[in-house]
């Protein structure tokens, strides 16, 4: 794992955006995995800015989103399809037919999930998967006790995750209980996993994922087994790590050939 600690979420988001942009520039047909939630918003703004000011070209990029709520129509304000359109897709030149988001309104969830895995495979696999982390250590919507080998499927949200995501729905009672999410096995098959975490409320989950034991109780700890997992953190999210000085030294002294 590579642990990059930045002074604040703005600089951390800029670092993450540069990693994504570098991949898109070297591979215009890159397959990007996108995440939703509060955390990647600044990174998406930075990517939009690079598109507008530097001509960063998404014309050949294929997108796969991590997850979606079950039972919401695509145009619901709380759906992740709406989120992606508003915060990224309508501001860049991505082709609509290259955008893939699980269909939360499908009448046939197992077929939808199998089809999603097949589309990822047919696209050549995901080059960079952007990830957040839940306060309970979840990855995508793989809640604690999720199988570490799981593939795209339906999951039930924990009470804590429904509380964390209540704002956009105008109250916890309105947050759906079920979601379709890429599995931990799906995420582990991505070439690079780029996890962003900001703020003190993520510190416990980050410390458990990075320095704790590998356990299904902290799904993000599965990234300890990933050959190319990068955590981009602000100081607050990194505050419970014990090896901070080492991580900072490694990043500051990265040999040129290792720089992305
Ligand atoms: P957040 O969610 O970015 O809104 O904190 C992250 C997650 O639940 O994975």
pLDDT digits (tens, 9 = 90+) for 125-170: 999 999 999 999 999 999 999 999 999 999 999 999 999 999 989 9
Strands (E), 75-226: 99-100, 128-131, 153-156, 178-181, 192-197
| Closest by Cα among 163, 193, 241, 223 to 33 | 193
Write down the residue that tokens 């080059």 correspond to: 127
176 in contact with ligand 1, CB cutoff 6 A = no
37 in contact with ligand 1, CB cutoff 6 A = yes
CB 175 within 8 A of CB 109: no
Q: What is the CA radius of gyration of the chain?
A: 17
Which residue has a Cα nearest atom 8 of ligand 1? 134
Strands (E), 48-158: 62-65, 67-69, 99-100, 128-131, 153-156
Report the alpha-carbon distance of residue 222 to residue 227 in Å, rounded: 11
pLDDT greater than 70 at residue 260? no
The tokens describing 109, both together, are 């969830």
**Beta bridge partners of residue 201, listed in sequence order:** none
132 in contact with ligand 1, CB cutoff 6 A = yes
Confidence of residue 102 (pLDDT cuts 50, 70, 90): very high
Tell me the catalytic residues: 67, 136, 138, 143
pLDDT greater than 80 at residue 258? no
Tell me the per-residue pLDDT of 190-239, one tens digit each, with 9 for 90 and over: 999 999 999 999 999 999 999 999 999 999 999 999 999 999 999 999 99
């Amino acid at each position: 794992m590579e642990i990059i600690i930045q002074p604040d979420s703005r600089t951390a988001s800029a670092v993450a955006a540069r990693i994504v942009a570098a991949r898109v520039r070297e591979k215009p047909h890159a397959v990007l995995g996108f995440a939703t939630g509060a955390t990647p918003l600044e990174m998406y703004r930075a990517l939009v800015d690079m598109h507008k000011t530097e001509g960063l070209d998404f014309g050949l990029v294929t997108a796969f989103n991590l997850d979606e709520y079950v039972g919401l129509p695509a145009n619901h304000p709380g759906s992740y399809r709406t989120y992606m359109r508003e915060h990224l897709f309508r501001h860049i030149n991505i082709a609509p037919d290259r955008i893939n988001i699980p269909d939360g309104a499908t009448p046939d969830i197992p077929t939808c999930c199998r089809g999603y895995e097949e589309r990822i495979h047919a696209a050549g696999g995901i080059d960079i998967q952007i990830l957040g982390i839940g306060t309970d250590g979840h990855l995508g919507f793989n809640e604690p006790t999720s199988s570490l080998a799981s593939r795209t499927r339906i999951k039930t949200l924990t009470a804590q995750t429904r509380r964390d995501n209540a704002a956009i729905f105008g109250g916890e009672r309105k947050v759906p209980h079920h979601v379709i999410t890429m599995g931990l096995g799906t995420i582990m098959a991505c070439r690079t996993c780029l996890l962003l975490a900001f703020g003190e409320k993520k510190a416990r989950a980050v410390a458990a994922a990075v320095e704790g034991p590998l356990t299904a109780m902290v799904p993000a700890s599965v990234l300890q087994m990933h050959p190319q997992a990068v955590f981009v953190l602000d100081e607050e999210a990194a505050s419970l790590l014990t090896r901070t000085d080492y991580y900072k030294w490694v990043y500051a002294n990265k040999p040129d050939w290792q720089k992305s």
